Amino acid sequence: MSPTVSFARRHAWYLVCAVVVMTIPLYVSDAYYLSVMAFMGSKFMMALGLSLLLGQAGQISLGQAGFVGVGAYGAAILTTRLGFNPWLAMVLATVLAATIAGLVGMPALKLKGYYLAMATLGVNEIIFILLVQLKGLTNGTDGITSIPSLTIGGLDLTSPRAYHLLVWGVALLMLRFALNLSRSRVGRSLRALRRSEPAAESLGVDTSFRKVQVFMLAAVFASIAGSFDAFYVHYISPESYTITLSIILITGVVIGGLGTIWGALWGTAAIVILPEILKRVNAGFTNLVFGLLLIAVMVFWQGKTDNVAMWLKGLARRRTAQAPTVRGSSGGDDG
């Protein structure tokens, strides 16, 4: 088998997905739907980071929206007030988000379960309060307007089409990175510490270091997504970065399936497309449905299998073979 063929075979799903996503602007011309798709790209980045943290390492964060806010406000403040180049502003905002995540993560990740969830919720809430209260810097609830666009060599990336390609281009790179990571030694050690921290530690995994590392990585993904959104919409205000967004991201990762990187993609599609459908009836139904889905997924799957697809497969197998199914192993993702 030639190297090209084996490469294509190994990465079939990833390549199919990349081609489909990157050609969407060819057959979708409606600006609204293109924008929805582009926002899906940035939501996917946030969900991807959370998927590594929650799905792979088993550490919950109810505060991802706070880091999205740091990315958005960092980018906005640096460009509008200090005249920084947007790309540089994005990088600096990301460094800031990673620093905050590191400083918060070191003590917070020593906590387990409920305490970690509440601590991250608290961090989200404090970031939100600061965004509202530091009026000199953030304009408070009025938000920041006229944020410049991203440009590449004089090419303005404001059109929905260009923005779609840019955001999904970056999101696909992040997906590749996450897939590679989950199949690497790091990914295996993350899954090991999810199952049992003492066991992972006894095998030589530095669990506290790994947890902080993946927490920072999730914050970086969230921050980059936040910056992209800010440059596209040109306007940001604090209420976009409340705990509600954090919980919606959790919903995405949970619907897609904990323990699989690809799940973040299906989950993101669900949390972006469902509201678009539900708002035709009543936008108020969105969170109701999300909440019910969170409960239903937990109650019906109870962490037994890693995702919906595996559960269906298990059902089908039981039907055909009438044999007890073996719990699907949560190995690295193919792609």
Q: Which of 15, 22, 117, 172 binds other proteins (CB under 8 A)?
A: 117
Select 64 or 94, whichever has its Cβ closest to other proteins. Answer: 64
249: which residues sit within 8 A by CB, 6+ positions away? 43, 46, 47, 50, 64, 65, 271
* Burial of 323 from C-beta contacts in 10 A (0-12 / 13-18 / 19+): exposed
Per CB under 8 A, 175 contacts other proteins: no
In the complex, the smallest distance separating the C-beta of residue 319 from other proteins, rounded to whole angstroms, is 23
- 11 residue type, one letter: H
In the complex, the smallest distance separating the C-beta of residue 136 from other proteins, rounded to whole angstroms, is 13
Strand, helix or coil at 235?
A: coil
Q: Of 179-187, 219-227, 284-292, 308-316, which part binds other proteins (CB under 8 A)?
A: 284-292
Select 292 or 312, whichever has its Cβ closest to other proteins. Answer: 292
Q: How many CB atoms lie within 10 A of CB 185?
A: 9
- 127 residue type, one letter: I
Under DSSP, the state recorded for 151 is E
Q: Which of 40, 121, 165, 193 binds other proteins (CB under 8 A)?
A: 121
Cβ atoms of residues 243 and 64 within 8 Å: no
Query: Phi-psi category of 247—alpha, beta or left, where left has phi over 0 and alpha has psi -120 to 50?
Result: alpha
In the complex, the smallest distance separating the C-beta of residue 275 from other proteins, rounded to whole angstroms, is 12
In the complex, the smallest distance separating the C-beta of residue 287 from other proteins, rounded to whole angstroms, is 4
C-alpha span between 156 and 161 (Å, rounded): 11
Per CB under 8 A, 95 contacts other proteins: no
Site string for other proteins, 289-308 (x = CB under 8 A): -xxxxxx-xxx--xx-----
Cross-strand partners of 151: 156
Residue 293 exposure: Cα atoms within 13 Å on the Cβ side:
22
Select 163 or 290, whichever has its Cβ closest to other proteins. Answer: 290
Q: Which of 28, 118, 270, 309 binds other proteins (CB under 8 A)?
A: 118
Per CB under 8 A, 204 contacts other proteins: no
The interface with other proteins within residues 130-159 (CB under 8 A) comprises 130, 132-133
C-alpha span between 271 and 5 (Å, rounded): 35
Length reported for the chain: 335
Per CB under 8 A, 209 contacts other proteins: no
Q: Which of 119, 200, 236, 264 binds other proteins (CB under 8 A)?
A: 119
Per CB under 8 A, 270 contacts other proteins: no
82: phi then psi, degrees, rounded to nearest 5: -110, 0
In the complex, the smallest distance separating the C-beta of residue 121 from other proteins, rounded to whole angstroms, is 6
In the complex, the smallest distance separating the C-beta of residue 307 from other proteins, rounded to whole angstroms, is 14
Strand, helix or coil at 206?
A: coil
Binding site for other proteins (CB under 8 A): 54, 58, 60, 62, 107-108, 111-115, 117-119, 121-123, 125-126, 129-130, 132-133, 243, 247, 250-251, 254, 258, 282, 284-288, 290-295, 297-299, 302-303
